Structure 1
């Protein structure tokens, strides 16, 4: 299907990278992967996530004032923490944090009141779920992935049945929740690099998504089954073929970090745009 015309017409979108990692101001999810924090220390941030100043209407007003046509909120990053009340796992801000509520629905409603398109980010990977690191890629892995217990099992310790549970109950289950509850205009996927297309069954995933929501836009992190490509943190020397979107941080980091003290100047951002 052709890309929805609103995407190119929007010109500018706003990426809202928000999760429990903002509590201590640590690297989003990667703190677990790299060993910067133990999983237990990372998840202790759940207890400090209150969202007490969450104001999606103010977000929508700022996004409108910026001239953007859409926004993308990190509904679930690689840490597996959902910003909505998911029925697929118990790891959500509604269930496990003082915020105690769905944070995706009010965001979607606030954007739509302003005539903005609603985007939701969703990580294919889930470094917290026990059924996730249960099969190995069929193709050679990147060196930095090999041997990481959050992503892949040791040779000989594979559990294909557990992977099937993850794929159906968590991966597909949560994507269906987002589609059916919030009807996003855009799904922005990430975390696809840890498996190949056949293991993810990306073609089947694309078909199911379009069956439920034919007018949705899908980003390119679907291993050949997305609508546009997503270079990040730098304008490509040669433009990619077809539609593309540059995702660029205002500072050096994606989420809130107290040590992120080098914001790009307005001049640099405008020149890049």
Structure 2
């Protein structure tokens, strides 16, 4: 019970910090620009994004870690680039399908741990334009289409590299890839910053840079402060997040959680006590892998995906749901089906998710709550409908109705909250009760 009230308090603090005009810097050294604060608020309101892990690893159909997990030689692995020809890639179709799913932003891998760049970069020939017969800059095509269709584009960028010989520091992964690994931190750091400058200069407005890989050598000084400052100089509104599995550091604009909701640690990658005051995002896979794996058809059901989105919103967090595109450039058919289902649900119930903050009850056996002004949305996600629900509230409830039908729900204002009588309701993916609170 004590932990629950602590989490509720943190969520309320987050909601306050997301209000316009409030200060957001973790420390005095980084003062976000006004456009950055505006972008944070928009990001938090968006609630739903799609993650895309795509690269030459898709050709192997074994996931994005295959170079490392398969014990492959990076020079042999690199030969896959000469066979990478995603002839069915269509940026317009991707963005249209994702937008119709109700997602408000896309995050795509520009360079993953295998070191292959999915954009036209002059700082490495190991990229989709120079090393493949396809010869097209898919990040540029996707960026142009996102701008055209009015959806934000976020860019994943790996601090870790299993291929480059100047990569430093050598951490716990990439020991068997056959690189000589002479290791030159200054050279590698300059390379990263040059590529980031390209991404923030040649591709229009970028919503966020999504970093990954610091966890491989967490005690190393990655000089993140300088890198973050450079990004904010190039695009002050561009948000920065880092998947380092710890509390945010100075210069970051949102906090992410891998395979877990904030405050949970089922995947063993999060410290449940390390929830900061920044906007929150949880990333999760639609099936089991991030990159395309031909044998992985274990896709989460429509119900599971919707409930995951709602539970994330109940904690004041966005859901970044991953899809691994096929090597031919298409989004898997099952993934497209799931997107359509989520889009249909959000077209009817999106009001209870978008632009909401964490509700008064973030986690309960029966579900969660989200808040928008004096409206508290009670999301009952249980397959067995509870007979009654006790909600701790400061204000009295003026009315309680089903969101979709307007049917009145019997309720009683009691000391410290309200009791909702729900025994006669039928279970659903999400049975939503709208409370108007004084």
TM-score by length of 2: 0.55
CA distance in 2, matches of 1:39, 1:102: 23
Are residues 57 and 24 of structure 1, via their aligned partners in 2, closer, same or farther at CA, if it must alter by over 3 Å?
Answer: same
User: Conserved in 2, the CA contact under 8 Å of 1:146 and 1:152?
Assistant: no
1:204 corresponds to which of 226, 231, 236: 226
The Cα of 1:152 is off from its aligned counterpart by 11
Partner of 1:245: 281
CA distance in 2, matches of 1:151, 1:124: 19
Aligned length: 258
Are residues 66 and 215 of structure 1, via their aligned partners in 2, closer, same or farther at CA, if it must alter by over 3 Å?
Answer: same
1:217 corresponds to which of 239, 247, 252: 239
SS at match of 2:87: coil
Q: Where do residues 1-273 of structure 1 align in structure 2 (5 Å cutoff)?
A: 1=32, 2=37, 4-28=40-64, 30-133=65-168, 135=169, 145=172, 148=175, 162-168=184-190, 170-182=191-203, 183-196=205-218, 199-221=221-243, 224=249, 225-238=251-264, 240-242=275-277, 243-273=279-309
Partner of 2:361: none
TM-score by length of 1: 0.86
CA distance in 2, matches of 1:101, 1:147: 28
The Cα of 1:151 is off from its aligned counterpart by 11
CA distance in 1, matches of 2:163, 2:150: 36
Instruction: Please say which structure displays the higher CA radius of gyration.
Output: 2
CA distance in 2, matches of 1:230, 1:151: 32
CA distance in 1, matches of 2:74, 2:178: 13
User: Conserved in 2, the CA contact under 8 Å of 1:70 and 1:118?
Assistant: yes
Are residues 20 and 245 of structure 1, via their aligned partners in 2, closer, same or farther at CA, if it must alter by over 3 Å?
Answer: same
CA distance in 2, matches of 1:40, 1:131: 15
In terms of fraction of residues, the more strand-rich structure is 2
CA distance in 2, matches of 1:147, 1:208: 28
The Cα of 1:42 is off from its aligned counterpart by 2.3
Q: Show structure 1 runs of 5+ residues with no match.
A: none
1:107-146 deviation per Cα after TM superposition (whole angstroms, max 9, x unaligned): 011111111011111101121110004x46xxxx6xxx17
User: Conserved in 2, the CA contact under 8 Å of 1:32 and 1:39?
Assistant: yes
Q: Show structure 2 runs of 5+ residues with no match.
A: 1-31, 265-271, 310-438
User: Conserved in 2, the CA contact under 8 Å of 1:93 and 1:100?
Assistant: yes
User: Conserved in 2, the CA contact under 8 Å of 1:124 and 1:191?
Assistant: yes
SS at match of 1:230: strand
Are residues 200 and 150 of structure 1, via their aligned partners in 2, closer, same or farther at CA, if it must alter by over 3 Å?
Answer: farther
User: Conserved in 2, the CA contact under 8 Å of 1:4 and 1:216?
Assistant: no
SS at match of 1:108: helix
User: Conserved in 2, the CA contact under 8 Å of 1:220 and 1:227?
Assistant: no
The Cα of 1:35 is off from its aligned counterpart by 4.0
SS at match of 1:180: coil
CA distance in 2, matches of 1:54, 1:251: 21
The Cα of 1:246 is off from its aligned counterpart by 0.9
The Cα of 1:37 is off from its aligned counterpart by 2.6
SS at match of 1:187: strand
CA distance in 2, matches of 1:197, 1:7: 30
CA distance in 1, matches of 2:178, 2:198: 24
User: Conserved in 1, the CA contact under 8 Å of 2:74 and 2:179?
Assistant: no
